[in-house]
Amino acid sequence: MIFFWMGLSAVIAVVFVILPLIASRGREPEEADDSTPAVLMDQLDEVQRDFDRNLISQAEADAATVEIKRRILAAARKAGPERSTSSSSGRAALLIAAVFVPAFSIGYYTLMGNPDVSSLAYADRQAERAEQQKIQELTDKLFARLQAEPDGGASEGWMLLGQTYYRMGSYSKAVEAFETVAQRDDATSAVFSMLAEALIQAEDGIVTPRAEAAADRAIAMDDGNPAGTFYKAMALEQKGSEFEAHDLLLARLNGADGFAPWMEAFVGLANNIGERIGKEPISLTDFAPAMAAAPGPTQEDVAAAGEMSEADRSDFIRSMVDRLATRLEDEPDDLDGWLRLANAYKVLGETDQAKEALARASTLVAGLSPDDPRRDAVNQAMQELN
């Protein structure tokens, strides 16, 4: 459908290029007259009118008339027979142009266009909004029920509510829900790190003293909770203690055994800070030799990577990523693969390519059922990149 309309507009463009060919067929086009004498004749009339109206004297009128007449003569002399070759010559150039215009546009569009992204009018997204509305109602109901319960509601209920609010982007409401649990005796480290996270989001990324206190509590209760350490590092960074923040992140990374998903975020933040304070960039493979065990490096690869120099290692990672990218070109329907690729690019700091991979992922997501968790994964990754 879309290609039909594009084709039609290309045809329109081509028609406009070759129109002179069609129009000139069978008749010799007439020449346009030079209009200079007409304008000058009109000026003669004007002088006469001005004279009639007593605006100028007889002498002035005569002088003006003589001068304009002289110009008419001059113009007539100049309009020599500087005339063209026959109208039929040069057809080839027009035909070349007629090929060039669509070829150029299709070439450009192939590079820059998004033909598979459909358009979605706001009015046609009722279902999506209804879905959101339903979630909203459910959360509201949950909130009401939790509040109505005599013991203040189950902690699990409040945590679920907080996480739902967080995902909906209602960060201040999420803070309220987490806080309710945080005040209880059964509050775990995770409760405090989630609270810290929600507090930071509510302030658009600023770590307030309240958020830092929550992160401190999370570490105090369980120093293995990476989220607590992460937000603590952010707090330190924002307070200007970049070295301390960097050390904290590295210490936690070194203390980990084996790869864990949170390490990517740690490496990203550490490199961000490191760049400003002049530290060597670190790489995920320093800490997680078993990274990306899934379709990619074999045990041997990983072992080899461990013995490589810094430069070799980054080349190695690059080649892994490239291999994944090539494979995905052949199997473009592999949603998980695209997500992994996007993640890899993100870690390498290549945001544009990460976005591209996510765009591919999002086209696949469109075909999934609305409650598929991977939908959220793509959305979230998109938002993080933008």
Partner 1 sequence: MIPEIGHFALALALGLALVQSILPLIGANRGKLLWMRSAKATAIGQLVLVGLAFAALMRSFIVSDFTVYNVAANSHSLKPMLFKVAGTWGSHEGSLLLWTLILTLFGAGVAFFGNNITETLKARTLSVQAWISTGFLSFMLLTSNPFDRIFPPPADGNDLNPLLQDVGLAMHPPLLYLGYVGFSIVFSFAVAALLEGRVDAAWARWVRPWTLAAWTFLTGGIVLGSWWAYYELGWGGWWFWDPVENSSFMPWLLGTALLHSAIVTEKRDSFKSWTILLAILTFSLSLLGTFVVRSGLLTSVHAFAVDPERGLYILFLLTLTIGGSLTLYAWRAPALEAGGVFKPISREAGLLVNNLFLGVATGTVLFGTLYPLFMEAVTGEKISVGAPFFNATFIPLMLPLVLLMGIGPFLSWKRADIPGVWQRLKFVALLSVLLTLLVGYLTRGGPLLAYIAMLLAIWLLMATLKEWAMRIRLFDVPFADAMRRARNLPRAAYGMTLAHSGLAVVMFGMIGSSAWKSEEVRFVTPGTTVAIAGFDVTYEGVERVRGPNYFSDRGTLDVKRDGEQVTVLYPERRFYPIAESSTTESAIRSTLAGDIYASIQEPAADSADESGAWILRILYEPLVFLIWIGSGMLILGGTVSISDRRLRVGAPRRKAAVPTNATPAE
Rounded Cα gap, residues 10 and 102, in angstroms: 6
Q: Which is nearer to partner 1, 101 or 221 (CB)?
A: 101
Cα 338 to Cα 324: distance, rounded to the nearest angstrom: 9
- Judged by phi (left if over 0) then psi (alpha if -120 to 50, else beta), residue 152 lies in left
- CB 358 to partner 1: min, Å: 10
Residue 16 has a CB neighbour count (10 Å cut-off) of 11
Least Cβ distance, residue 338 to partner 1 (angstroms): 14
Per CB under 8 A, which region of 109-117, 154-162, 280-288, 334-342 contacts partner 1?
Answer: 109-117
**Chosen residue from 26, 82, 330, 352 binding partner 1 by CB under 8 A:** 82
* CB of residue 201 to partner 1, shortest distance in Å: 17
Q: Are 275 and 247 in contact (CB under 8 A)?
A: no
Q: How far apart are CA 30 and CA 297, in angstroms?
A: 76
Task: From 104-112, 143-151, 193-201, 346-354, give the range in contact with partner 1 by CB under 8 A.
Answer: 104-112
Residues near 139 by beta carbon (within 8 Å), at least 6 away in sequence: 161, 164, 165, 168
- Tell which one of 62, 104, 138, 310 touches partner 1 (CB under 8 A): 104
d(CA 249, CA 232): 9
**Site map for partner 1, 119-138, x if CB under 8 A?**
xxxxx-x--xx--x------
- For residues 335 and 361, give the distance between their C-alpha atoms in angstroms, rounded to a whole number: 6
Smallest gap, in angstroms, from Cβ of residue 373 to partner 1? 15
In the complex, the smallest distance separating the C-beta of residue 86 from partner 1, rounded to whole angstroms, is 8
Q: If binding is defined by CB under 8 A, does position 87 make contact with partner 1?
A: yes
For residue 354, the minimal CB distance to partner 1 (Å) is: 15
183 scored as a contact of partner 1 (CB under 8 A): no
Residues from 338 through 367 that contact partner 1 (CB under 8 A): 359, 362-363, 365-366
Residue 118 contacts partner 1 per CB under 8 A: yes
Does 188 contact partner 1 by CB under 8 A? no
Q: Report the 10 Å Cβ neighbour count for 316.
A: 17
Sign, CA torsion 343/348/349/355? negative
Within residues 4-63, the interface with partner 1 by CB under 8 A covers 5-6, 9-10, 12-13, 15-17, 19-21, 23-24, 29, 31-36, 38-40, 42-43, 46, 53-56, 60, 63
For residue 154 the two structure tokens come to 């189950």
Is 332 a binding residue for partner 1 by CB under 8 A? The answer is no
For the chain, first and last CA: distance in Å?
A: 31
Neighbours of 21 (CB within 10 A): 15
Among 27, 58, 80, 112, interactor with partner 1 by CB under 8 A: 112
User: Encoding tokens for residue 353?
Assistant: 């390519």
Minimal distance, residue 362 CB to partner 1, in Å: 5
